[in-house]
Amino acid sequence: MSTVEPNEPADESFVDALGGLFDPRSQRNGHGDDADYDPFEEFNRSAGIGVVENPYPMFALVRADYPIKREDFGEMMVPEDADVDLLSLDLGEEVAVFTAYGFDAVQQVLKDGETFSSAGYADIMGPVFGHSILEMDEPEHHTYRGLVQQAFSRKAMETWERDLVRGVVDESLDEIVDDKRGDLVRSLTFPFPVLVIARMLGLPREDLPTFHRQAVEMISAGFEFDRAIGASNALFDYFSAIIAERRKHPFDDVISVLVQAELDGERLDDAQICSFLRLLLPAGAETTYRSSSNLLYGLLTNPDQLDALRADRTLLTQAIEEGLRWEPPLLGIMRTATCDTEIEGMKIPAGSVVAVNLGSANHDERYWDNAEDFDIFRTPRQHIAFAWGPHMCLGLHLARMETRVALTQVLDRLPNVRLDPDAEAPFITGAVFRAPNALPVVWD
């Protein structure tokens, strides 16, 4: 099986094929008998993309009176009769459901993995992703995380930044740099995280369009369950073949690290590696694409702050953190109470589902002044875009590094980049996953 060397350039046809996946008009999906189905368009529709523009004022209204609120699970702030599919769970009438809106309430839930279990994801994501890190509690979670994080060492991160990420970003920018006009979502923020993960895994470049499409089909399980299972099975077979080869002939890639990883005598079996790999693309590429897009939107719609960043690159780190705080790519996650407990004075019965609103917590006025504003000059404070506690995002350092490289190259290679005055004004949208659909820009 061929692999992609870290410094191997992507050919134009491959970049075009991957970029074409973002075109809502695209009907290429690998299903010969279902050519009209576009999983990207369907996922965006189901997640409220283009329907829900700004839920934060509503979050603020609720949060003022209810740092944590008992409510119907799946209740989302979407326009009535909107064409949005929400995951429906048969929890039973006896199961209480709460949403944590305030920063302190959210932090309490995420810090205490013993009282607030992640095991509920087994019913939601388990059938699609297998037994993954999402649903693990301690001590299993600690062991598994210790094994898989060996693939994300500081040395690996430095190598990826130097030999992989910058090259991938530059390849994307090479396609548009002479045009003086383009869409940064379609041309950069959407394709580059997928390309990075593909090369981290050593996948053949020709497999990427199918790989990405199947990953999106998997996270669409809430409204296309049978299709998600089909995509999951296809990726299991695909990765199993690569894992078998890497066990015989290790290469310099993440899969090779995973098959050789060992901690206190424990090693990962093929099923565990497959579960992690099937989760990696939606957990990594999807969120990085959205968070980098949101940051660019914040800067482009606040040109004074963009100018300040151009003049002083030491502002880059705090700009990235402000983007994550202001518009995290994913609004919420969930936990299950393992015993009777209490949050912010609210009694939580054992077995209750606790939905954790990361976006609302990041806008808590008790922690941030003018929290609705994007402001790279605000005093830095820990946000919860990457969650908190034992399940804090495994790839947070990779996501930050990718965003830093992408923004640096945009500023370096697209002089005086700014919103296209002749294009329709972009906006961030989504009820669960959030990002702008487009970022039309011009440059000198």
Annotated domain spans of the chain? 12-75+87-442
Can you give the pLDDT at residue 218?
Answer: 82
- The architecture of the domain spanning 12-75+87-442 is Orthogonal Bundle (1.10)
Question: What does the pLDDT profile of the chain (444 residues) look like in tens digits?
Answer: 333 343 343 333 333 333 333 433 333 333 434 656 666 566 666 555 666 688 999 999 999 999 999 986 444 444 444 444 444 444 555 789 999 999 999 999 999 999 999 998 888 788 888 888 888 889 998 898 888 888 888 888 899 999 999 999 999 999 999 999 999 999 999 889 988 988 899 888 888 888 878 877 887 776 778 888 898 999 999 999 999 999 999 988 999 999 999 888 889 999 999 999 988 877 777 889 999 999 999 999 999 999 999 999 999 999 999 999 999 999 999 999 999 999 999 999 999 999 999 999 999 999 999 999 999 999 989 999 999 988 888 888 899 999 999 999 999 999 999 999 999 999 999 888 899 989 999 999
Please name the residues in contact with 61: beta carbons below 8 A apart, sequence gap of 6 or more: none
List residues bridging with 354 in a β-sheet.
Answer: 98, 335
| H-helix or E-strand spanning residue 428 | strand 428-429
Q: State pLDDT tens for residues 71-80.
A: 864 444 444 4
For 196, counting Cβ atoms within 10 Å of its Cβ (0-12 exposed, 13-18 middle, 19+ buried), the class is: buried
Joined together, the tokens standing for residue 274 give 């497959």
Q: In whole angstroms, give the CA distance from residue 67 to residue 346.
A: 9
Letter string b/e over residues 390-422, b meaning 16 or more CB atoms within 10 A of that residue's CB: bbebbbeebbbbbbbbbbebbbeebeebebbee
Q: Is the C-alpha dihedral spanning 348, 349, 355, 356 positive or negative? A: positive
The pTM of the full predicted model, rounded to 2 decimals, is 0.85
Can you give the pLDDT at residue 36?
Answer: 66
Letter string b/e over residues 27-57, b meaning 16 or more CB atoms within 10 A of that residue's CB: eebeeeeeeeebbbbbbbbbbbbbbbeebbe
